[in-house]
Structure 1
């Protein structure tokens, strides 16, 4: 039986998530490439009814000491962080650090159809010089944050923008839309992530490197959320076990928590896929 990390039994090793595109078996381990290219996972035979490993085998993950299980479960998160830094390193070695010319204001790289900015006359290539009469500093994080902050605080209220377009300066009044929570949505599913990645890929290689690095950091953070279907949920169960002096939760209770967490994640995933698909530009044009 194959082993991994201090002799722990492994049954699956996958790159990506979702439906299997290709797979092969070697030494009783299933290696696969899956449809959604976001990270990957390692499967363990601990609760596999078809496994011929005795339930009391000390090399099953569930029977290992708390420290061993913590290290194994944290490996995916650590890998995402290491990979993000590796991407930045490759960028520096291959294309160098991005150099951005400093100029007053904030450049508008793109305007989504049907958005408030599009409706009120803002165009790609415009440079926002001032917001509600306050001049912006030279292009950079502070200027962008200031514009975003004003917009977030002004749903359904008119925001006066001083805009430079070509050689002309003029003012545009923009009224930000308000969603159900009064802000811009911050949670995206795989459809939106792929769409953003495609847009970045069409712009420049520097942006693609940075997008990939940020995506890996975000995956690491999301994976640490204390949901039973994620690594953070498994770590939470281990912390509860440690707080109970090494006594595990009853198996039935643990299975109930895990199944409810998986159901929640699946429902959230379906919702995000449907919402993001309906928000794609060509879908909006059809509706």
Structure 2
């Protein structure tokens, strides 16, 4: 059930993204020929006002079709309501609407949780281990997800983000040096030795850390706190996501191993859904923001690429030739499929049940 919940959330987020494109086009009077949920053969089809709505076999995806791309379309090529014949700002709004829809959904989800469920209680002292990478220094020392780190070398870690920043700073400054870690797991507190790996002169332990939040919630005190808390949560998630993608370009070797494919994303969603509705809310907001940032990148087949093409068109005064765009699109498609397959194989091999079957 947890996996199914994660899949449904992923499907919903993709539908919202495509609905953003669809609404931005239709509200401007731009012709749209199709709106599909999923890919592959159509299971259900219905046509209304010239638009074919379809539910397809593979639900994790979707697309909006325009007559501009249909060679058999009966609409004249100079029709002013075709997307390609609209002013560039109109086209840009359609392209950007998917990203804006995902960001808006994340904001609404976080706002709804804060309003109806409450906001997190003040964090406790220490740092919470969220995820441990196999083979890293944290894994070798015996740290596991859910552990609370209370002190480093007998120096207590303060509550909140300052504690996280202090631990990251101390770890980076101690490559290949032993750090005495006071760890709390359940009701038991023990001490372990942590030796950060040396990565270009900086220590790295291979673990995702966050403030030691107990999970307890409390009602918001007033509307101002509701807006400030929601804005802060949204800003933190967005900044962390942007920094993560930026790391792929600035320090690919260090961050490539942190890239997750569909299997890992669903596994993370299933784990968060075990925490109940609040876990699914966090998963929805996080993945929605990730979809928005990912689609903003200027890579073939993504919205950021189309925005770049429109920017070039506005400077040149004419569109980039279809031959060049098609070449990049085909290359991007092959790269995307290849990367997805690699990530699926890697993430599947790291699932606990698979490792048990392999005797690891």
In which range does the TM-score fall when normalised by the shorter chain? 0.7 to 0.9
Pick one of 177, 187, 198 that aligns with 2:259.
187
Gaps of at least 5 residues in structure 1 are none
Q: Matched residue of 1:185: which SS?
A: helix
Equivalent residue for 2:111, pick from 89, 98, 104: 89
CA deviation after TM superposition for structure 1 residue 223, in Å? 0.5
Equivalent position SS for 1:217: helix
> Which residue of the partner structure matches residue 348 of structure 2?
277
TM-score by length of 2: 0.67
Give the corresponding residue for 2:143.
Answer: 122
Aligned residue pair count: 280
Residue 104 (1) aligns with residue 104 (2)? no
1:30 and 1:278 mapped to 2: Cα distance?
A: 40
Match of 2:336 in 1: 265
Seen in structure 2, the aligned counterparts of structure 1 residues 111 and 6 have a Cα distance that, compared at 3 Å, is closer
Matches within 5 A, 1:129-278: 129-138=150-159, 140-148=160-168, 158-165=178-185, 169-175=189-195, 181-182=253-254, 185-244=257-316, 246-278=317-349
More helix by share: 2
Aligned to 2:212: none
1:23 counterpart = 2:44: yes
Q: Is the 8 A contact 2:45 2:55 kept in 1?
A: no
The answer to whether the Cα contact below 8 Å between 1:107 and 1:128 also exists between their aligned partners in 2 is yes
Greater RCO, CA 8 A, separation 6+:
2
Bigger mean CA deviation after superposition, 215-224 or 115-124: 115-124
User: Structure 1-normalised TM-score?
Assistant: 0.83
Between 47-56 and 4-13, report the one with greater CA deviation.
47-56
The answer to which of 110-119 and 155-164 deviates more is 110-119
CA distance in 1, matches of 2:175, 2:335: 30
Over residues 230-287 of structure 1, what are the superposed CA-to-partner deviations in whole Å (9 max), with x where a residue is unaligned?
111000000001111x211222222222222222222222222222222222112222
The RMSD of aligned alpha carbons is 3.1
Is residue 48 of structure 1 aligned with residue 70 of structure 2? yes
**Structure 2 alignment gaps of length 5 or more:** 1-24, 200-205, 207-251
Aligned mates of 2:288, 2:113 — CA distance in 1: 15
Rounded Cα–Cα distance in structure 2 between residues aligned with 1:11 and 1:153: 58
